[in-house]
Amino acid sequence: MIDDLGVRAGRDGRVVRHRVGDVRPRAHRHAELEVNLVVRGTASYLLGDRRYALTPGTLTWLFPGQDHVLVDESSDHELWWAVFRPALVAQIATTRHARPLLEADPVGQFSRRLDSSRVRRLGALFHEVQDAETVDDVLVNTGLAYLLSFAWRAFLDSDDVVEGVDLHPAVETVARLLRADPDAGDLATLARAAHLSSSRLSRIF
């Protein structure tokens, strides 16, 4: 099922600052391109059959229709996320280097760590676009277009790739259950489905 991320009519996307505990993370997918920037703390993304470690300064792209879920958030974890409607992405992604932004599931690694100056500048941009939401749609949409362009350039300029780690088969099993039904059961129920003890499943996750 495609999730509705609450992008208002007349806007080309949305910017949110996520803090641990704001919402209960669950597996989801959506029609919009998404980018995340970790501000502080740590977490992981389960994306398909791989796990990606998130640390401060990590910039991650999530593509339309990709199942993903944020897990293992530290008590101080914070990140910015922004989503962009397909029409805006099509306007921006006109060069050869930007073509992956138009794909649903492009080949490659799309999580990289940025240097501190790029993190500060990009964080300020997220904040500015979020503040513009109280002004008018034209300002928001202009900011979203620049944010998308700048974030992609910052990503391309970084060589610090975050490699995904293959998930343990038990994690794949449980992730699949939770994607289908976020209330699939408690730890003991999920552990039985994965043919593991509760403690072993907890350690693997």
13 in the Ramachandran plot: left (φ > 0), alpha (ψ -120 to 50) or beta? left
Q: Are 152 and 118 in contact (CB under 8 A)?
A: no
Q: Is 204 helix (H, G, I), strand (E, B) or coil?
A: helix
Across 28-32, 70-74, 107-111, 129-133, which has the greatest mean pLDDT?
Answer: 129-133
Three-state DSSP class for 203?
A: helix
Are 150 and 122 spatial neighbours (Cβ–Cβ below 8 Å)? yes
Report the range of poorest mean pLDDT among 24-33, 119-128, 148-157.
Answer: 24-33
> Can you give the pTM of this predicted structure?
0.82
- Give the pLDDT mean for 2-12: 89
- pLDDT given for residue 127 in this prediction: 98
Backbone angles phi, psi at 166, to 5 degrees: -60, 135
- In 3D, which of 44, 30, 16, 13 has the Cα closest to residue 171? 44
